[in-house]
Structure 1
Amino acid sequence: MVTVSDKLKRSASHNIISPKGYKAAGIHCGLKHKKKDLALLVSEVPANVAGVFTTNVIKAAPILLSKDVVQNTGKMQAIIVNSGNANACTGSQGADDAYTMQKLTAEKLGIAQDLVGICSTGVIGELMPMDIVKAGIEKIEVGSQLEDALDFSQAILTTDTATKHTAYNLKIDGKEVIIAGVAKGSGMIKPNMATMLAYITTDANISHETLQALLADTTEKTFNAITVDGDTSTNDTVLVLANGLAGNNELTPNHPDWNVFTEAFKAACEDLSKMIAKDGEGATKLIEVNVTGAKTDVEALQIAKTVVGSSLVKTAVFGCDANWGRIICAVGYSGMTVDPETIKIHIGEIPVVEFGEPILFLNDQLTEYLKENEVKIAVDMGIGDGKGTAWGCDLTYDYVQINATYRS
């Protein structure tokens, strides 16, 4: 039987501006020493927008502006992004600066100010050098070439070692629809979300309300299922723009192609989430934890996030140490429903625990497996039908070095 998943193909030829009607740019304006640090994404028509933002009580000024656009306008036509300065914990001056960035971008593009989203990432607690930002906004010019998309993806980075992008093309009502995404994130990565910015564009016709509900649900299984270091940033943002230029009939849960669209949307979010986890500061390995047999899906996801977030599990994976005791320990303090006598654990394909007790295994074989770039841990709780997956990375010497000198 052919499933929706069988019909999905990730597109290597598409990027954040591949959906109809999008342009982008990324330049160096001077917030960082040499690298690109100002990015702009524009839709040729106002797009329906959805957004999710940091759960940290301390929120950067750009978060409040962008959240207001999402909730009160429901549409967004442009997103201006800077790296190198978070504009967080900067008081009334920070709020004024975010407002000015929004206003200058709107004036440059000739659009309403409440159609502009603002995002910032970088050092917390430093005022934005607005003379540099103003000059950058005046200078930046969007384009529709691959180079413009790559420039955008580079300009949003901080300690990332690589750009992160994905795309899917599918058929809706017989018309080609593209879903594309780009993200940054490397440290301060913890459920919920991360020190991460993610942008998803699509030319699909879908309302703000339907898109917001879809993003909220998908975020729980993707962006909220990654962790690097246990810190939640002040600037986390995911924004989705849908400008409707593909010309399909409006997508709703009753649309015959709804499952195709939602699966592609989830796949794009999952791709970006895994790329962020894999690129954790100093990381050498992606860790995936799959939990089955939990009491509920919610409990399964929480157990998976607890295991992948354990510093002891992360360091064991880095050291290629088959120390399954750290895994079952994390399961035990997850706060979820646990029966010690029903737990089974696999590292890769190798069983190490059955019904809460150790199984003999070849340590050398497992050590070799742990040397791979991606490590999978499976935990069967044995008490229900709940399942969930979380992603993270190993914890290395380089993580300490990077964060010990971040401001310098």
Structure 2
Amino acid sequence: MDVPVWVWALTVGAIVAMIVFDFVGHVRTPHAPTLKESATWSAVYVGIAVLFGLGVLVFAGGTFGGEYFAGYVTEKALSVDNLFVFVLIMASFGVPRELQQKVLLFGIAFALVLRTVFILVGAAAIENFSWVFYLFGAILIYTAVVQARSGGHDEDEEFEENGVVRLIRKVVPTTEEYHSDRLTTKIDGKRFITPLMIALIAIGTADIIFAVDSIPAIFGLTQETYLVFAANAFSLLGLRQLFFLIDGLLDRLVYLAYGLAVILGFIGIKLVIHALHTNELPFVNGGEHVTVIPEIPTWLSLLVILVTLVITTVLSLRKNRKDAEAGHVSPTGLEDKGAGRDGLQAQGPGDRDGSPAGARADAPPSGRTAGVTDRSSGD
């Protein structure tokens, strides 16, 4: 796929413009978005991603169009999984609901920059070392096993600050209270960072872990750097709105981890098969290509991804309905803890038992959080 420089420039410029618009139009003035606002803008960003994919279909053909849509759907599903961890982080730091948008948007911008670097590095590695497909495949298969064994999430598990966050707390003076939507503040002439900055750093470091399987997964569906970048970018855009839209529904996707395990495992196997077809390792078949097993076509990859996500969602909703009928959970899928989400008040970062509106301290992390939270003793 030959992508002219001007197309790259136009695409990157459009994505940056959308992030800037998101900040100026929605985030600059702190507020808690309504369900209508979140639903509308989520639909807008999904629509833009679909229109882009249709453009790829028209101008680049069905193969590349299929690769883009397979990558976009996979990355979007993984992004939804990331929201479990974001809920934990918001609750742990007591981020007020009206400030959560800023943390999410800054975190998304950081993730986009970080993943762009990973994509460029991954593309260069693939170009020069065919054995990288073995490595990517192994990473995804291992992640799939961890994901399946974890069962998705544990309602009793809480976010624990990782080493990076604890180090920053030690080195940089921090306040215990929020100062509006400011990331830093001056007290008695001395500069401090606020809990909002700490929460942002926590989300940023978490995304480094997420990128470890997200980037190999997309390269397992397409080796076109432009499509890899576009699928990642469009999956991240609108993630802020999606957070508020499905905040109350995250707990209901009880089988999402298993669905993602199937998808990651499938893509991992696909990568290994591709690695065998391009094999150059001397200790594998004497350095010759292994073509006994045919490569998995793009249409089959897209079909497996879509069917898996549909089955996962249907089974999750069915289980929640049965649990509700049995009285284990409320009809909304949330356990009755004595207060609704909207009735909760944001607590200070020092109060780990409190939860801001829209985020529960016992909100479930996903299986992909292995490595995100540090289980060693805190300070």
TM-score bucket (shorter structure): under 0.3
Structure with more relative contact order (C-alpha pairs < 8 Å, separation 6 or more): 2
TM score, norm. by length of structure 1: 0.25
Greater strand share, 1 or 2? 1
